[in-house]
Amino acid sequence: MLLLGVDAGGSTTVAALADEQGEVLALAQAGRGNFQGPGLEAARAEVQRSIELAAAQAGVGTKQITSAYFGMAGADRPRDFELVRELLTPIVPPQALWGFENDALLGLWAGTRTGVGVAAICGTGTNVVGVNAQGKKVQVGGMGTIFGDYAGGRYIGELALARSQRSVEGRGEPTVLYERLCQHYQVRELLDLVDWLYAGRDLQLAELAPLVVEAAAEGDAVAWEILFEVGEELAVSALAATRQLFEPGAAVDVVAMGSVFQKARHPLLFSAFAQRLLDSEYEIQAQLLRTEPVVGALLAAARQAGLEVTAEFAHRVEESLKDYLPKKE
The reply to whether domains 2-103+293-324 and 105-290 share a CATH topology is yes
Q: What's the pLDDT score for residue 16?
A: 98
pLDDT tens string 266-312: 789 999 999 999 999 999 999 999 999 999 999 999 999 999 999 99
CA distance 129 to 121: 9
Sign of CA dihedral 147, 282, 294, 214: positive
Q: Are 22 and 61 in contact (CB under 8 A)?
A: no
Cβ density class 193-211: b for 16+ within 10 Å, e for less: beeeeeeeeeeebbebbbb
Domain boundaries, the chain: 2-103+293-324, 105-290
Q: Which residues does residue 68 pair with via DSSP β-bridges, in sequence order?
A: 4, 98
Domain 105-290 falls in which CATH fold? Nucleotidyltransferase; domain 5 (3.30.420)
Q: What's the pLDDT score for residue 266?
A: 79
Which amino acid would we find at residue 122?
C
Q: What's the pLDDT score for residue 328?
A: 58
CA distance 150 to 11: 18
Segment (H or E) for 140: strand 137-140
Q: What's the pLDDT score for residue 45?
A: 96
Q: Give me the helix-helix angle, 221-245 and 153-168, nearest 10°.
A: 140
Q: Give the N- to C-terminal CA distance of the chain in Å, as an integer.
A: 35
Q: What's the pLDDT score for residue 206?
A: 94
- Please tell me the pTM assigned to this model: 0.88
Strands 126-131 and 117-122, bridge-based pairing:
antiparallel
∠ at Cα 325 (49, 285), nearest 5°?
105
CA distance 16 to 55: 9
Domain 2-103+293-324 falls in which CATH fold? Nucleotidyltransferase; domain 5 (3.30.420)
Residues 6+ apart with CB under 8 A from 310: none
What residue ranges of the chain have pLDDT lower than 50?
none
pLDDT tens string 26-59: 999 999 999 987 889 999 999 999 999 999 999 9
